[in-house]
Amino acid sequence: MSKKILLGVTGGIACYKSVHLCRLMVKAGYEVKVIMTPAACSFVTPLTFQAITGNRIYINEFDAGVEPDIIEHVWLAGWADEFIIAPATANIIAKIAHGIADDLLTSTVLPYKKPIFIAPSMNVDMYANPVTQKNLALLSSFGHDLIDPNTGEMACRTEGKGRMAEPEEIFDYVFCKEKPLSGLKVLVTAGATAEAIDPVRFITNRSSGKMGLAVVRQAKALGAEVRLVAGLTSVGTEGFDTVKVQSALEMLDAVQKEIAQTDILVMAAAVADFRVAEYSETKIKKTDEAEITIRLVKNPDILKELAPLKKNGQVFAGFAAESDNLEVNARKKLAEKGLDMIAANDISRKDIGFETDDNEIMIFSSDREPFSTGKVSKDTAAEKLLLFARELYGKKNGSV
Ligand code: CTP
């Protein structure tokens, strides 16, 4: 029997691309039913989808008597083998993230038991809005599969990220994408540690946590079970399975507790190398002195502490933030920290690294040629890093 696909279409200009997506699925032999929101009907007529699918199109929640013996939204949710929403507007994303069910499409989302493929499509500023980003993070934490929008020219004559992925890309993602990390447990550290001086002050660094969070998202998308240990981050960690920490010592403790249940560790956090020797329980007051001296002592190196605990099949990946001699320094860290691979970043470059959305990492390991991701989004860099780690994991554990 052919696979049954439910396609949700919401009101955005990319509706015209969904017509092509629908055609691709029908051509591949899938049975497709389409739910359109009333707004989607302003962009493309239901008749177009009806002609392509050969099925009636579902729009209104309370169409009395069409199929009197079924409760449509519950029936559709049970019928579908796969559920794709493309295009997914900021509005539908917000509604799904918060469990709102006020039309046929959202009412069908709630009883659907599997992850839904969601292809966001919106203006660049709507996509970048922190509320949308938070909602997307929530969707991914609920296990839904987000199909990253593309960057490029938009219908609103702006340029940037928010264009819905092309129909062929969505088709490949849903029907051809492998989940190479399924069944594996990935532990990620992200963000900066904060070393307290007194109750109001601390020493930290410029890490935003964006790279670590990209690793979390991608590991989930590749099928892994992911745990995050997060220090200070300027990006939200809501919705992920997260242990929040402040200092390097707390991060060490959290990671030590998790490591036995981990297959792949990705240590993306920027851990402070030093902490304050004498923490002041009370706020340090300003005095007449022109200078103040704060003595720092060395923090433990978390990776070095973990090295003796490492089990045979585990893969440990670290990062190397370097401003010069990238390869020499990265290889030194690879060896000294007992790592299987290390992703080196050139932090002297302004276009990649701290606080930016892009990165270019060079991956070193003991037995493979160095591999550069090229300058790509942090999500793409994270995906490549994880696939590299998966390959090493396969080698260690006797599977490909
Ligand atoms: N790291 C760690 N514990 C520390 C410091 C760093 O586990 N106390 C980890 C980082 O998470 C990263 C790797 O070690 O995966 C390299 O971090 P980096 O800051 O590049 O190097 P350092 O070891 O701190 O050395 P340096 O600052 O001299 O470059």
- The stretch 115-143 carries a mean pLDDT of 92
Q: Please tell me whether residues 161 and 84 are part of one structural domain.
A: yes
Whether 301 is in the pocket of ligand 1, judged by its Cβ within 6 Å, is yes
Mind telling me the catalytic residues? 156
Candidate from 253, 298, 303 with most ligand 1 atoms within 8 A of CB, to mutate? 303
Paired strand residues for 196: 202
Comparing 342 with 66, the larger pLDDT belongs to 342
**341-346 vs 159-163, strand pairing mode:** unpaired
Could you report the per-residue pLDDT of 278-326, keeping only the tens digit for each? 999 999 999 999 999 999 999 999 999 999 999 999 999 999 989 899 9
Q: Which amino acid is at 230?
A: A
Whether 276 is in the pocket of ligand 1, judged by its Cβ within 6 Å, is no
Whether 211 is in the pocket of ligand 1, judged by its Cβ within 6 Å, is no
Candidate from 211, 258, 329, 333 with most ligand 1 atoms within 8 A of CB, to mutate? 333
- Residue 119 CA to residue 126 CA, distance in Å, equals 14
CA of 319 to the centre of ligand 1 (A): 7
pLDDT score of 198: 98
| Residue 186 and residue 225 in contact, taking contact as beta carbons nearer than 8 Å | yes
Find the DSSP H helices in 287-377: 302-306, 326-336
Q: Which range marks the domain in which residue 40 is found?
A: 4-175
- Buried-exposed string 145-157: b where 16+ CB fall within 10 A, e elsewhere: bbbbbeeeebeee
Q: Please tell me whether residues 155 and 202 are part of one structural domain.
A: no
Q: Please tell me whether residues 19 and 151 are part of one structural domain.
A: yes
- The domain boundary residue, chosen from 175, 200, 223: 175
Q: What is the CATH classification number for the domain harbouring 205?
A: 3.40.50.10300
Does residue 159 fall inside a structural domain? Answer: yes
Q: Please tell me whether residues 52 and 142 are part of one structural domain.
A: yes
Does residue 245 fall inside a structural domain? Answer: yes
Q: Please tell me whether residues 155 and 290 are part of one structural domain.
A: no
Whether 361 is in the pocket of ligand 1, judged by its Cβ within 6 Å, is no
Confidence tier at 237 by pLDDT (50, 70, 90): confident
Q: Which of 105-114, 230-239, 256-265, 350-359 has the lowest mean pLDDT?
A: 350-359
Q: How many CB atoms lie within 10 A of CB 285?
A: 7
Candidate from 228, 271, 361 with most ligand 1 atoms within 8 A of CB, to mutate? 271
- The domain boundary residue, chosen from 175, 195, 218: 175
Closest among 181, 190, 287 to 225, alpha carbons compared: 181
Give the CB-side neighbour count of residue 187, counting CA atoms within 13 A: 23
Closest ligand 1 atom to Cα of 337: 14
Does residue 341 fall inside a structural domain? Answer: yes
| Residue 388 and residue 341 in contact, taking contact as beta carbons nearer than 8 Å | yes
Of all residues in the chain, what percent carry a pLDDT higher than 70? 96
Q: Please tell me whether residues 254 and 165 are part of one structural domain.
A: no
Whether 318 is in the pocket of ligand 1, judged by its Cβ within 6 Å, is yes
pLDDT score of 349: 82
pLDDT score of 65: 57
Does residue 82 fall inside a structural domain? Answer: yes
Count of domains forming the chain: 2
Q: Please tell me whether residues 145 and 251 are part of one structural domain.
A: no
Computed over every residue of the chain, the mean pLDDT equals 92
pLDDT score of 1: 46
Q: Please tell me whether residues 89 and 224 are part of one structural domain.
A: no
| Residue 292 and residue 265 in contact, taking contact as beta carbons nearer than 8 Å | no
Q: Is 152 helix (H, G, I), strand (E, B) or coil?
A: strand
- For the cut 70, the answer to whether the pLDDT of residue 394 exceeds it is yes
CA of 248 to the centre of ligand 1 (A): 11
Q: What predicted TM-score, i.e. pTM, was given to this entire model?
A: 0.70
CA of 134 to the centre of ligand 1 (A): 29
- For the cut 90, the answer to whether the pLDDT of residue 352 exceeds it is no
Q: Please tell me whether residues 34 and 78 are part of one structural domain.
A: yes
- The domain boundary residue, chosen from 175, 197, 224: 175
| Nearest CA, atom 4, ligand 1 | 301
CA of 397 to the centre of ligand 1 (A): 27
Could you report the per-residue pLDDT of 89-119, keeping only the tens digit for each? 999 999 999 999 999 999 999 999 989 999 9
- For the cut 90, the answer to whether the pLDDT of residue 348 exceeds it is no
pLDDT score of 153: 76
Q: Is 263 helix (H, G, I), strand (E, B) or coil?
A: coil
CA of 196 to the centre of ligand 1 (A): 19
CA of 320 to the centre of ligand 1 (A): 7
User: 156: Cβ–Cβ under 8 A, 6 or more apart, which residues?
Assistant: 123
- Residue 306 CA to residue 336 CA, distance in Å, equals 12
Give the CB-side neighbour count of residue 334, counting CA atoms within 13 A: 20
Q: Which amino acid is at 142?
A: F
- Residue 204 CA to residue 213 CA, distance in Å, equals 18
Alpha-carbon torsion angle 153, 155, 161, 162, nearest 10: -150
Closest ligand 1 atom to Cα of 273: 8
Q: Please tell me whether residues 146 and 41 are part of one structural domain.
A: yes
Does residue 16 fall inside a structural domain? Answer: yes
- For the cut 60, the answer to whether the pLDDT of residue 249 exceeds it is yes
pLDDT score of 322: 92
Confidence tier at 205 by pLDDT (50, 70, 90): very high
End-to-end distance of the chain based on CA atoms, in angstroms? Answer: 31
Q: Please tell me whether residues 171 and 194 are part of one structural domain.
A: no
| Residue 175 and residue 28 in contact, taking contact as beta carbons nearer than 8 Å | yes
Q: What is the CATH classification number for the domain harbouring 126?
A: 3.40.50.1950
Q: Which amino acid is at 378?
A: K
Does residue 250 fall inside a structural domain? Answer: yes
pLDDT score of 376: 87
| Nearest CA, atom 28, ligand 1 | 273
| Nearest CA, atom 20, ligand 1 | 320
Q: Please tell me whether residues 367 and 342 are part of one structural domain.
A: yes
According to the 3-state scheme, what is the secondary structure of 177-217?
Answer: CCCCCCCCEEEEEECECCEECCCCCEECCCCCCHHHHHHHH
- The stretch 67-76 carries a mean pLDDT of 83
Does residue 180 fall inside a structural domain? Answer: no
Whether 269 is in the pocket of ligand 1, judged by its Cβ within 6 Å, is yes
Confidence tier at 64 by pLDDT (50, 70, 90): low
- Residue 97 CA to residue 95 CA, distance in Å, equals 5
| Nearest CA, atom 16, ligand 1 | 320
Closest ligand 1 atom to Cα of 304: 7
Does residue 53 fall inside a structural domain? Answer: yes
CA of 333 to the centre of ligand 1 (A): 8
- For the cut 90, the answer to whether the pLDDT of residue 179 exceeds it is no
Closest ligand 1 atom to Cα of 342: 15
- For the cut 90, the answer to whether the pLDDT of residue 223 exceeds it is no
Strand ranges, E, within 289-396 = 296-298, 315-322, 341-346, 358-359, 361-365, 371-372, 376-377
- For the cut 70, the answer to whether the pLDDT of residue 353 exceeds it is no
Place of tokens 């959202």: 106
pLDDT score of 129: 95
Could you report the per-residue pLDDT of 15-28, keeping only the tens digit for each? 999 999 999 999 99
User: Which pair of tokens denotes residue 248?
Assistant: 């390097």
- For the cut 90, the answer to whether the pLDDT of residue 220 exceeds it is no
- The stretch 327-332 carries a mean pLDDT of 96
- The stretch 40-65 carries a mean pLDDT of 91
